[in-house]
């Protein structure tokens, strides 16, 4: 017997039904994540296996940027991310965040593009005197992700 359940149909199930199906069929890293884990403006909590897979797939500077989240309890200043390659362009961090989101979405099967690995702390934003340009701010990941990244970097 073969049962086919599309990702969109899976998301329409109750959270309890999703969890029961994932437990029953051994939902691995590529299984659709329950809706409770995919929320707008909430960082996705990586498992240890997902973090290890992500770390292995990254080139040097991206790995060093992600390591900052592991070493700083999940919160990193924008300027610290830029300092990895001595960039002066604010778009460097935007590209990094976007790339991490793309990689995560492929890992967790997120066709609606809700999943984000890294979020911006709006309350920690520092502006210039004219309030026109961001001077610094804080990016953050879920606490579970910070822990999973620490473990992944310790093993690599």
Distances (CA, A) of 116 to 37, 91, 95: 10, 17, 13
Residue-level pLDDT at 28: 45
Q: What is the pLDDT of residues 40-68, one digit of tens each?
A: 568 999 999 999 999 999 999 999 999 99
- In angstroms, rounded to a whole number, what is the distance separating the alpha carbons of residues 137 and 118? 13
Q: Domain boundaries in the chain? A: 39-155
For domain 39-155, give the fold. Answer: Arc Repressor Mutant, subunit A (1.10.10)
Q: Where are the alpha helices (DSSP H) in the chain?
A: 7-12, 15-25, 48-57, 60-71, 78-83, 91-108, 143-155
User: 125-136, pLDDT tens digit by residue?
Assistant: 999 999 999 999
- Rounded Cα gap, residues 78 and 126, in angstroms: 10
pTM of the entire predicted model: 0.73
């Amino acid at each position: 017997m073969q049962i086919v359940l599309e990702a969109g149909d899976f998301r329409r199930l109750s959270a309890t039904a999703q969890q029961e199906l994932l437990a029953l069929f051994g939902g691995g890293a590529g299984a659709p994540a329950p809706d409770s884990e995919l929320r707008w403006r909430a960082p996705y909590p990586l498992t240890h296996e997902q973090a290890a897979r992500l770390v292995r797939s990254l080139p040097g500077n991206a790995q060093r940027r992600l390591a900052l989240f592991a070493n700083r309890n999940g919160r990193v200043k924008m300027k610290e991310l830029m300092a990895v390659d001595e960039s002066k362009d604010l778009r460097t961090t935007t590209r990094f965040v976007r790339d991490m989101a793309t990689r995560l979405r492929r890992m967790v099967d997120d066709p609606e593009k809700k999943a984000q690995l890294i979020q911006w702390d709006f309350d920690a934003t520092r502006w210039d005197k004219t309030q026109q340009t961001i001077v610094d701010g804080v990016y953050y990941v879920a606490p579970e992700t910070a822990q999973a990244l620490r473990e992944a970097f310790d093993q690599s």
